[in-house]
Structure 1
Amino acid sequence: MKTLAPVTFPLFAALLLSLTACSEKTVVSPGGSKQVQSQACFNNSCHQNATSPGTGKNIPQEWLLSGHNTKNGASCSDCHEPAAGHPTAASGATTVPDTTNNPDSAGKCAKCHTLSKGFGISVYDGIAIDTAFVHFSSGSHSSYVSRFYQNSCRKCHNPHDTASAMDYLRQWSRSNVGATTTPARTSGSDLKTRGSSISADKNFGNACVRCHSTTGFLNYASSGFSDVQALPDLDGTRSNYPAYPSGSQNYQDRSREGDNCNGCHTDGRSDDPGASYSYRLRPVPRVTAYFNYSSTPLHQRAWDVTYKSPLYPDFGTSNACIVCHTGREIGLVIKLASVKGMDFSNQKRIDAHNQATASTMTTQVGFNYYTSAQKYENSAYRHTTIGLAASGYSGGTNGPCIGCHMNNNRSHGFMPVKISSGTIIEVLSDQQTCSKCHNAQNSQHPARTPALLQGRKNGMAAAMKALQQMLLHPKQSSIYAVGVADSAAKGGISYTAGGAPILNQWTAAFGNGVVPGSGNPAVPGGPDAVTAGAYTMGAAFNYEVIVNQAGAYAHNARYVRRMIYDSIDWLYDGSINQDAKAALDWLHTYNYISSGSATGTYELALGYLFESDGTYSRP
């Protein structure tokens, strides 16, 4: 998970400042007591035992905790607006004059909480926050009150108790999930418009909406992982591919939807299906992932690939995380395309997209240089069993993603570690999860201290720097280069020859002959069929997977080391012969990587890839 600079964030129910700016006649004038006014509702033998349909808790007790009370913000009548003649004591009447049963859906929150009222600048963790900015969008960033969240505050906020969940909401809003100004939220395309009428199993990439909007995610997860239609505009039309090849930039609805609370939470109520202020976890079925690739938007090339992965286990509640963390491609797709005749002398790089964590954990994301599954086995690996009751391993009962990333007092920051200035300073999930297996009593798996994890993170970064340099200088030569930007920039990849760029060229270094021992993934047991061009692209694919997954060193440590090792091994001489150590020595000799100290790239990469066992064998 990437580390971001602090960003501005919500939450309007969080701030529930004194609502003296409200002009509606039903709001008590400045100085009036909301608690005194509400006591008439609580003490008249009518509502003192009222139960929230969302949380099941006593409504008067919830309201007393809220900013509506403690900030003297809003009384019962301010929101529910009883008509004249509403009784102030039990009368035995079977009917009473009208009240607003659901003030939120009736738009009553907007009496005070609008762009110009009820929001302001506050401070959280020492960071100034503009709550109006994140709730309302100009179209240049996502917002919490986007179209499908208007009159739906209860998708995130408990209307009666606005305070108890506040720490979680604040954490979430500063996370990569809840922030409104991350790159995906501010890109040139409004990703709610990037969908397709073509179902996911036949779709070739026109499906951004399924992970970059909550409504799109819910449509996808509830349709058996099929529906990837763009969200409708105000008039009901959708910018679905192929009618709109790039998504519509002309939507009347200029709001941008992000990832909101009801993506992971739901009250499960048929009478109010959008509500999620009970914060119960949303059940998502076992995930089906499709890895379809075409260099054109439609299936128009002989080497286009459709592949359905059968390999994702049921991670319980963590299935909600898996949906958007499989990646868009896996390394096997490159091999399948090669078997079908892909031209690697002129081919855009195939990549996994960002944060393909679930596919890394299940050992299927990488371009595997060996055909034998035994080369990737790790009998000691247990991270996929964390949080699963049947497994007997720690981390609660909500699966590995929640068990590691949310099993701490900063749960909705989605970080198992605390980072300051790029350095791990605390392992937040250690007590509840990590220490159950990694502890002083386990010599094979010692305690996950900040220093140990930072050391592994630094080691992975050094090994990735070595891989980057091998991509720049494959075949022990600077003539052929795969231009890979620094990991922080995550730039594109292209060959150069003699200084002149040759884009999308994967055969320059090692040709494109069939690699002996490559196997045939399309016809198991068939003759070797995967080409050298595919193997070279595979190294770039592995680099991209890891550079876009900051926690890869912990997610599946040995598998990630093998991905890096094998990629370096191939790029050194165009064969898989376990000479990655020789490649590092070559990089060191020609000063492509730093050396000479304990923090040198050469030394750190050696320690990470080989764990200083003296044999320099494959991890």
Structure 2
Amino acid sequence: MFYTRFALPIMSLILVAVPAAQAQDQSPVTSIVESWIASPHGDRKAEAFVHWNEEGAVPEDCATCHSGPGLMDFLGADGSMAGKVDAPAAIEAPIDCVACHNQAASDLEQITFPSGEIMTEASPSAICMVCHQGRASSDTVNMAIAGGEDDAINSELGFINVHYAASAATMFGGAVRGGYQYDGKAYAERFVHVPDFNTCTTCHNPHTTKVVAVDQCVACHKGAETVRDIRITPADIDGDGDVKEGIRAEISTLHEKLGEAVMLYAKEVSGKPVAYDSHAYPYFFNDLNGNGMADPDEAKFPNRYQSWTPRLLRAAYNYQFLAKENGAYAHNPRYAIQLAYDSLEDLSSKAAVDMAGMTRP
């Protein structure tokens, strides 16, 4: 059962018995609740909401996005000071109706990103951006590698994870430095779409999170059957000679090549082969048998990769940033391409990375 700050079950507030004359008016609300329950934000048994069950509470650092009451605490919707979580929050308490539908959420316009940059968002997207911004930035990586030689192994370095679905960081691009941005390079800033499709909730159903603007997208982008098929550049981004594939395919190929380049650099320069597992923390592991894959006996925390150089860590950070941001092709394709291209270029200065035919926008 999910509880509001008034200690009343949300479902009982909505699914109460009503006169037949009111049933028609009530059904849309019921439909919304059912959609929310079936969504990632409403799955109270999901790892995002049960990870801390043994501890009995979600710690302050995680509570904003992993507990409905924690989000209300952060917003100040519970009467506390806004901008921080004051105490551990309830477990198995997803992001429920009242967590987003409150006055503090409606008034929210200033979003602080991990880089410290503050962005203004005067739309319903602001509440989405509180959580979908990641937990790290270029600044985080630079702080960790400060003073180190680019290709010298530092045993004190650990992998820096941006966290997951950092869509807002992608959308604002270079302005908030969510990906690792290389010195001397220019990066695309906020990706501005057409006015009717320029916020989170105009493209995603806020209750199911599913993309709902598909028909309108392909109606404007002639020749594209799906959102993934859309492209507006004639340039061959990934160097494969195909200039008709969707921009998502271009980004996917660059991302795949970046993963290969990370492994090549680790083997040739660090002298310690690395393997990646997208579902096992901390994602990069020693490739003990050299087969290029993180086998089940390798993808374990004690076998985590610990032979990082600053150059390798920068590239791996961007690889993970794109791996956990499946919508980058729609949120800010230029920024995503620039991150992958620059990481490949940096690695190619020391390892035999083939970038023939690639184009940086």
TM bracket (short chain): 0.7 to 0.9
Matched, 1:543 2:316: no
- CA 334–449 in structure 1, closer or farther in 2 if over 3 Å, else same: same
Would you say 1:439 and 2:221 are equivalent positions? yes
Which of the numbers 542, 565, 569 marks the counterpart of 2:345?
Answer: 569
Give the drift of 1:479: 7.1
Structure of greater relative contact order (alpha carbons < 8 Å, 6+ residues apart): 2
Instruction: Label 1:356 to 1:486 Cα distance change in 2 as closer, same or farther (>3 A).
Output: same
Name the structure where helix makes up a greater proportion of residues.
2
Identity within the alignment, %:
21
Query: In 2 relative to 1, CA 479–337 (structure 1 residues): closer, same or farther, beyond 3 Å?
Result: closer
Instruction: Give how far 1:326 is off.
Output: 1.1
Unaligned stretches of 5+ in structure 2? 231-244, 291-297
Over alpha carbons, which structure has the higher Rg? Answer: 1
* Whole-angstrom distance in 1 between the partners of 2:199 and 2:273: 36
User: CA–CA distance in 2 between the matches of 1:571 and 1:337?
Assistant: 19
* 1: CA distance, partners of 2:289 / 2:75: 49
Match of 2:134 among 316, 327, 330: 327
Provide the rounded CA distance (Å) in 2 between the counterparts of 1:490 and 1:552. Answer: 22
* 1:618, distance to aligned residue in structure 2 (A): 2.1
Provide the residue aligned with 2:295 in structure 1: none
Counterpart amino acid of residue 107 in structure 2: P
- Which residue of the partner structure matches residue 404 of structure 1? 203
Query: In structure 1, what is the Cα distance between the partners aligned to 2:344 and 2:181?
Result: 13
Instruction: Summarize the alignment of residues 447-462 of structure 1 with structure 2, pairs less than 5 Å apart.
Output: 449-450=226-227, 452=229, 455-462=246-253
- How do 1:55-94 and structure 2 match up within 5 A? none
Contact 1:214 1:259 in 2 (8 A): yes
Partner of 1:371: 184
Name the amino acid aligned to 2:201.
Answer: I
Relative to structure 1, is the Cα distance of residues 164 and 457 closer, same or farther in structure 2, using a 3 angstrom cutoff? same
Q: Secondary structure at the match of 1:412?
A: coil
Aligned position for 1:492? 283
Q: What letter is aligned with 1:185? A: F
Q: What's the counterpart of residue 175 of structure 1?
A: 39
Amino acid at match of 2:226: T
Verify the 8 A CA contact 2:157 2:306 in the aligned structure 1. Answer: yes
Q: Tell me: CA distance 1:584–1:477, structure 2 relative to 1, closer, same or farther (3 Å).
A: farther
Checking the alignment, whether the CA contact within 8 Å between 1:572 and 1:583 is kept in structure 2 is yes
| Stretch deviating more after TM superposition (487-496 or 168-177) | 487-496
Matched, 1:265 2:101: yes
**Counterparts in 2 of 1:502 and 1:176: CA distance versus 1, 3 Å:** closer
> Are residue 556 (structure 1) and residue 327 (structure 2) matched?
no
Q: Which residue of 2 aligns with 1:354?
A: 164
- 8 Å contact from structure 2 (residues 284, 304) kept in 1: no
Q: 1:209 aligns to what?
A: 63
1:430 maps to 2:214: yes
Paired residue secondary structure (2:41): coil
How many equivalent pairs are there? 319
Pairwise CA distance, 1:340: 6.3
SS in 2 for 1:177: helix
Cα distance in 1, alignment partners of residues 333 and 253 from structure 2: 15
Which position in structure 1 is the counterpart of 2:239? none
For residues 568 and 451 of structure 1, do their structure 2 counterparts lie closer, same or farther at Cα, with a shift above 3 Å needed? closer
Could you tell me how far apart the structure 2 residues matched to 1:568 and 1:333 are? 20
Q: Which residue matches 2:358?
A: 616
TM-score by length of 2: 0.74
SS across alignment from 2:40 = coil
Q: What's the counterpart of residue 208 of structure 2?
A: 413
Residues 94-493 of structure 1 mapped to structure 2, 5 A cutoff? 135=1, 144=2, 150-153=7-10, 157=14, 159=16, 160=18, 162-189=26-53, 193-196=57-60, 207-222=61-76, 223-231=81-89, 256-266=92-102, 282-289=106-113, 291=114, 308-310=116-118, 312-339=119-146, 344-363=154-173, 364-372=177-185, 375-377=186-188, 381-383=191-193, 393-395=195-197, 400-406=199-205, 412-416=207-211, 428-431=212-215, 434=217, 438-440=220-222, 449-450=226-227, 452=229, 455-474=246-265, 477=268, 480-481=271-272, 483-487=274-278, 492-493=283-284
For 1:264, the aligned partner's letter is: C
Structure 2 Cα separation of the partners of residues 483 and 189 of structure 1: 32
**Matched AA of 1:330:** S
Provide the residue aligned with 2:308 in structure 1: 506
Contact between 1:495 and 1:502, CA under 8 Å: does it hold in 2? yes
Superposed CA deviations along residues 13-44 of structure 1, whole A, max 9, x for unmatched, are xxxxxxxxxxxxxxxxxxxxxxxxxxxxxxxx
Q: For 2:355 and 2:279, how far apart are their aligned partners in 1?
A: 22
Listed one character per residue, the Cα deviations across residues 533-576 of structure 1 (whole Å, up to 9, x for unaligned) are 1x32111111111111211221111110111111122223339x
- In structure 2, distance between residues paired with 1:227 and 1:405: 27
Q: Helix, strand or coil for the counterpart of 1:184?
A: helix
The 3 A distance-change label for structure 1 pair 494 and 157 is same
Residues 243-271 of structure 1: per-residue CA shift (max 9 Å, x gap): xxxxxxxxxxxx621111111214x5xxx
Q: Secondary structure at the match of 2:98?
A: helix
Partner SS, residue 477 of structure 1: helix
The one-character-per-residue Cα deviations of 1:30-68 (angstroms, maximum 9, x if unpaired) are xxxxxxxxxxxxxxxxxxxxxxxxxxxxxxxxxxxxxxx
Q: What are the Cα deviations for residues 374-422 of structure 1, in whole angstroms up to 9, with x where unaligned?
A: x21379x414xx6xxxxxx113xxx61112112xxxx521111xxxxxx
Structure 1 pair 195–220 and aligned structure 2 pair: CA distance change class (3 A):
same
* C-alpha separation in 2, matches of 1:430 and 1:330: 31
Rounded Cα–Cα distance in structure 2 between residues aligned with 1:257 and 1:191: 14
Q: Is the 8 A contact 1:490 1:547 kept in 2?
A: no
- Cα pair 2:272 2:307 within 8 Å, conserved: no
AA aligned opposite 1:370: D
CA distance in 1, matches of 2:276, 2:266: 19
Deviation at 1:335, TM superposition (A): 1.2
Q: Secondary structure at the match of 1:172?
A: helix
1:170 is displaced (CA, Å) by: 1.9
| Partner SS for 2:196 | coil
Q: For residue 120 of structure 2, give the secondary structure of its aligned residue in structure 1.
A: coil
Mark the CA change 1:182 to 1:484 in structure 2 (over 3 Å): closer, same or farther.
farther
In the superposition, relative to structure 1, how do residues 475 and 549 fare at CA in structure 2: closer, same or farther (>3 Å)?
closer
Indicate the residue corresponding to 2:294 in structure 1.
none
Residue 47 of structure 1 is matched in structure 2 by none
Quote the offset at 1:482 in angstroms.
5.5
Q: Measure the CA separation in 1 of the matches of 2:338 and 2:96.
A: 36
Matched residue type, 2:229: L
Distance between the aligned counterparts of 2:50 and 2:275, measured in 1?
25
